[in-house]
Amino acid sequence: MSATSVTITNVRAILTAPAGIGLCVVKIETSEPGLYGVGCATFTQRLGPVKSAIDDHLRPLLVGRDVDRIEDIWHLCYQNSYWRNSPVLNNAISGVDEALWGIKGKRANMPLYQLLGGKCRDGVAVYRHADGRDPQEVLDNLLKLKEQGIMYIRVQLGGYGGIGREPRRPDGALPGAYFDPDVYTLTVPKMFEYIRSKIGFEQPLLHDVHERIAPIEAVRLAKALEPYRLFFLEDALAPEDIDWFKRIREHAAVPLAMGELFTHPLEWRPLIVNQLIDFIRVHISDIGGITPARKLASLGEAFGVRTAFHGPGDVSPVGHAANVHLDLVVQNFGIQEFSGFPDPLPEVFPGCPELRNGYLYANDKPGLGIDIDERLAAKYPVGDVGHVIEWTQSRWPDGTITRP
């Protein structure tokens, strides 16, 4: 190692919940006074194990290493535990990876998008969510977003799994988040029919199945939605059922987006190489950060698949900043999901990307251009990281546990 090398002196996980959602941010400190980077490692359903992976395992592995060797460090972290491709480990690696890219941008005195090759576009088009208890309420919320300049809108009737009568449960049925997939698949096409009858076909609309129906029902739903010209149908199948994408392709000319739960290259590789999806919408921290996301985008470009990175409220503003820098530089960018920055997120995370008239903009500060105010972050503790999560206890009417 060169005598002038900048080395890692500390790696820390910071937990905070300024908007009521648990977030995990990694901070890497270096041998150069005042030089540090931050990255997103948010797996909000399992914050405790991610924090332990960072503080107890990655920190001792990384202290003393050269901050410039991002590729080598990524692979070191990836394979050092021997077992690989878990969302816990990938999120921990992502926090390190994004922080190191931020440090490299600061050392070069460039925003990350410049370091990665420069802009392919000046703003990042986003999609946001309109929900409602009935089609009219969905339409009302859609129109509110449209008035704010949002050009792409995802429409959901009653959230994931839809709405309808309370399913009739058998005696002794366990508690859970019950939904009826038959009611869902019947009401969604009716919702689209109503909305298109009111606003026409110029407004790009999206819909998220959230992997909640049987594969054959996903085929049938895609066919039923074909007349309503979706921008894309999101996560129609669970990762365990990706072989069924070939059947959807054979029966419905509906653009398909997939990947929210992907953590392993063998989940997305066949879908891209065989051109069975149109958008890859991975959660950047779930696949390990900026380093693998760049490669994934290049793979997609080779096969005509565009990016649509996951951007819900359980991506920290640091993660959103990483998304935006990638969105600016990849040629095959498609769309960016964006959940917004409710107060006090912009105060806790100075340098948040800015949304103006339907586009997200990165700032021109070096690196990711975003920071975390640890003093303010400490005012919003995450509470019990081991609390029981309710919404993922999804059940069909007879009580069968199913994927959320």
Catalytic residues: 160, 210
Q: How far is CA 243 from CA 28, 238, 274, in A?
A: 40, 10, 11
**Residue 337: which region, alpha, beta or left (left: phi > 0; alpha: psi -120 to 50)?**
beta
How is residue 130 written in tokens?
């309109």
**Residues whose CB falls within 8 Å of the CB of residue 14, separated by 6 or more in sequence, listed in order:** 24, 25, 26, 27, 372, 374, 377
Q: Which two tokens stand for residue 114?
A: 């410049």
β-pair partners for 44: none
- Asked if 161 and 182 count as a contact pair (C-beta separation under 8 A), the reply is no
First and final CA of the chain: distance in angstroms?
A: 48
DSSP string, 145-166: HHHTT--EEEEEESSTT---SP
19 vs 25: CA distance, rounded Å: 15
Give Cα 392 to chain centroid, integer Å. Answer: 17
